[in-house]
Amino acid sequence: MNSTESTDVLVIGTGFGGAIAAYHLAAGGAKVVMLERGPWVRSEEFEHDFLLGSSYTRIFDFVVGDGMSLLGGNCVGGGSVVYFAAMPRAPKFVFDRHGSIGRRMWPSSISRDTLEPWYDRVSEALPVSMSDWNQVTYAGGLFAAACNHSGRTANPVPVAIDVDRCTNCNWMMSGCRFDAKRSLLLNYLPAAVAHGAEIRPLHEVQRLSHTDHGYRVHYSTVDAEDYRILHDEGVIDAKIVIMAAGAGATPVILQRSEAALGGMPDAVGRYFSGNGERLNTAIVDEDKARELFGLDRGDGRAYEANQIGKGPCVASWDNLDASLPEYSRFSLEQLYFPPGFGTILAQVPGAAGPSWFGREKKEIVRKWQSWLTTFTMSEDDNEGVFGPPPPTGNAHRISQQMLGRGTISYEPTANTRHGWEISDAAVKAVMERDGLARIMPWTNDVVGAYTVHPLASCRIGDDPATSALDDRHELRGHPGIFVTDGSAVPGALTVNPALTIAALAERAIPGIVQAAKDRGVSVKYGAPSPLGETGGRRGTLPLVSDLAVR
């Protein structure tokens, strides 16, 4: 089927960058259509298993590149459906980072102080709250005790979770069937739909081309069971296009569009950051946990609780110190990493035989309930580069669902490796002190680096030579195309990036609204929070006129 239709605004992707834009533009009176490559899975459909064809495999996109693998959401709601809802704000020093270009990466108009009102607005909309120590999980409590024992501080993490609804099932990475995790399915997206926005799942955008009054978006429909199969093709004309397909897909769509649109900025598909991420998993000695910390679950076990909880809930931020040199700043976060990928790659500490398989490996897997994983987010060098795009999609689809082979290449620099090494040493010092645990080593030699927070592949900045977007998120040389997802973030944040991505998207809206007005769209800016709150709106109103100036 070939069809041509039109809309005021076409949004590609339904994660934070897409949902926030769709809500504000629809609430302001624009006709909005959203195209989402993945399925629309409702709360009651999220399943607690890893079977092929379950919600677990349907809502993820795992792309293996050369030296880097990317794990992201593939569903309506995007990354918010599969994230752990940790919502810290980026430290002030992040906005002054120089990285690999030797000068400030971020636009001069953006700092932690100028972004603060937009952080407030998102925190009100989801909402975001701070857990107390009575609400942290067994794993979080053990990690905090280990930090204290080794001379480090630890803090509960701000989260977008309704703790009264949370059952500690620890399946939140696979979507929350209890509506405890505040994903976009519960706020911005239903509010956008209520204002007339249309969401079309299983629609994969392939490329963009010009029309007399804007852009034409070319898409294919995706088979609901086998994502390798594409069905009907269609096009939608729009006056404004908002790219929010994620840092692993947005640059690929733009690369594929270059033949029709004309030259892309050099930074499209370059300067990719994996947020400096790293995993270290410890095998806790149950007797030591009891001896050192007096732990007792009341049934004779000290810990054995890796599977119980709500994802990351405790972090150590001692190395988020502006006085430290770049590439030596990082955060440590207790994390639940589900069995499967992490279990397969775990290596036996000090193995006498093979470290990946065999009798010794079987023994450590038997103790998986005594594992505790620490997640590092550090400063990398934006080394990732996307090669020529595949014929369709963001990757060469390998399996029926979830798995693809991408075009990204990533060779970590000495700076990035230094950040990993010192953070690995910090984790080891915390978890192995006085025999509490043994760290299972991680190496990039087999699968390369990985990230669950891909960033910076179409980043904002002041310098056209090193940024694809201006400080209002408009694609250089292509007026009317905006990028509001994680690919717009200039570099690694040293903390979970969801709140920063969302705050930047909120900040971009006044300029997008003005661009739509300039193209004849009857739209205004000023909608309250999706939940009806107005405190955040009042906080940002003084900034709107400056951001709307073109």
Mind giving me the DSSP string for 284-305?
E-HHHHHHHH----SSS-S---
Determine if the peptide bond prior to 127 is cis (ω within 30°): yes
What 3-state DSSP class applies to 243? strand
Q: 124 — alpha (psi -120 to 50), left (phi > 0) or beta?
A: alpha
What 8-state DSSP symbol labels residue 15? S
Measured from the Cβ of residue 199, the count of other Cβ atoms closer than 10 Å reads 22
Quote the pLDDT of residue 533: 79
| 331-335 β-sheet, strand order | 155-156, 314-316, 331-335, 371-377, 277-284, 437-440
Quote the pLDDT of residue 337: 74
Domain extent listing, the chain: 5-548
Q: What would the two tokens of residue 215 be?
A: 């852009």
Positions of E strands within 178-229: 198-200, 203-211, 214-222
The residue with tokens 């053990």 is 142
Q: 76 — alpha (psi -120 to 50), left (phi > 0) or beta?
A: beta
Q: 369 has which bridge partners?
A: none
What 3-state DSSP class applies to 345? helix
Quote the pLDDT of residue 340: 63
Distance, in Å, from the CA atom of 456 to the CA atom of 460, rounded to the nearest integer, reads 8
| pLDDT, tens digit (0-9, with 9 covering 90-100), for 67-91 | 999 999 999 999 999 999 999 999 9
Distance, in Å, from the CA atom of 462 to the CA atom of 468, rounded to the nearest integer, reads 10
Distance, in Å, from the CA atom of 451 to the CA atom of 464, rounded to the nearest integer, reads 27
Single-letter amino acid, residue 527: A
What 3-state DSSP class applies to 235? strand
| pLDDT, tens digit (0-9, with 9 covering 90-100), for 122-165 | 999 999 998 889 889 999 999 999 999 999 999 999 999 998 89
**Beta carbons of 429 and 438 less than 8 angstroms apart:** no
Burial of 49 (0-12, 13-18, 19+ CB in 10 A): exposed
Measured from the Cβ of residue 220, the count of other Cβ atoms closer than 10 Å reads 18
Burial of 550 (0-12, 13-18, 19+ CB in 10 A): exposed
What 8-state DSSP symbol labels residue 239? E
Q: CATH classification of 5-548 is 3.50.50.60, yes or no?
A: yes
**Beta carbons of 456 and 247 less than 8 angstroms apart:** yes
pLDDT averaged per 10 residues in sequence order, the chain, 550 residues: 81 98 98 98 91 87 94 96 96 96 95 97 95 90 97 96 90 92 96 97 98 97 96 97 98 98 98 95 94 92 89 93 97 83 72 76 86 94 97 94 94 96 96 95 74 97 97 98 98 98 98 97 94 82 77
Q: Kindly report the length of the chain.
A: 550
Cα torsion angle, 117, 533, 544, 216, sign: positive
Q: What would the two tokens of residue 300 be?
A: 């004779």
Distance, in Å, from the CA atom of 211 to the CA atom of 339, rounded to the nearest integer, reads 49
**Beta carbons of 19 and 184 less than 8 angstroms apart:** yes
**Beta carbons of 199 and 244 less than 8 angstroms apart:** no
**Beta carbons of 455 and 175 less than 8 angstroms apart:** no
